[in-house]
Chain A
Amino acid sequence: MAARVLQQCVRSLARPSLRLFPVNLALRAAVAPAVTVHRPFSFAADSRRMRWLGQSRISSVELLCRQYGDLPPLTLETIKDRVMYVLKLYDKVNPEKIQATSHFMKDLGLDSLDQVEIIMAMEDEFGFEIPDAEAEKLMTPEEIVQYIADKKDVYE
Chain B
Amino acid sequence: MASTAATRTAAGAAKVVKPVFSRDLDEAKRRVRELYRAWYREVPNTVALFQLDITTRQGRDKVREMFDKNKHVTDPRVIDMLVIKGKMELQETIHIWKQKTHVMRYFHETEEPRATDFLSKFYKGHDP
The chain B residues found within 8 Å of chain A, CB to CB, are 29-30, 33-34, 36-37, 40-41, 64, 67-68
Task: Determine the distance from Cα of A136 to Cα of B36 in the docked complex, in whole angstroms.
Answer: 13
**A30 touches B (CB below 8 Å):** no
What residues on A are CB-neighbors of B64 within 8 Å? Answer: 113
Task: Determine the distance from Cα of A116 to Cα of B68 in the docked complex, in whole angstroms.
Answer: 14
**A133 touches B (CB below 8 Å):** yes
Task: Determine the distance from Cα of A116 to Cα of B37 in the docked complex, in whole angstroms.
Answer: 7
The chain A residues found within 8 Å of chain B, CB to CB, are 112-113, 116-117, 120, 132-133, 135-136
A interface, by DSSP: helix, strand, loop or mixed? helix
- Tell which of B33, B34, B64 has the most Cβ of chain A within 10 Å: B33
Task: Name the distance in Å between A123's Cβ and chain B's nearest Cβ.
Answer: 9
Task: Determine the distance from Cα of A116 to Cα of B30 in the docked complex, in whole angstroms.
Answer: 11
Task: Determine the distance from Cα of A112 to Cα of B33 in the docked complex, in whole angstroms.
Answer: 8
Which 3 residue pairs spanning A and B have beta carbons closest together?
A: A116-B33, A132-B33, A113-B36
What residues on A are CB-neighbors of B68 within 8 Å? Answer: 113
Task: Name the distance in Å between A113's Cβ and chain B's nearest Cβ.
Answer: 6
Task: Name the distance in Å between A13's Cβ and chain B's nearest Cβ.
Answer: 51
Task: Determine the distance from Cα of A135 to Cα of B36 in the docked complex, in whole angstroms.
Answer: 13
Task: Determine the distance from Cα of A116 to Cα of B34 in the docked complex, in whole angstroms.
Answer: 9
| Residue of A with least CB distance to B30 | A132
B30 touches A133 (CB 8 A): yes
A113 touches B67 (CB 8 A): yes
A136 touches B37 (CB 8 A): no
Task: Name the distance in Å between B34's Cβ and chain A's nearest Cβ.
Answer: 6
What residues on B are CB-neighbors of A135 within 8 Å? Answer: 33
What residues on B are CB-neighbors of A132 within 8 Å? Answer: 30, 33-34, 37
Task: Determine the distance from Cα of A132 to Cα of B40 in the docked complex, in whole angstroms.
Answer: 14
Task: Determine the distance from Cα of A113 to Cα of B41 in the docked complex, in whole angstroms.
Answer: 14
What residues on A are CB-neighbors of B67 within 8 Å? Answer: 113
Given contacts A113-B64, A113-B67, contact A136 B40 (CB under 8 A): no
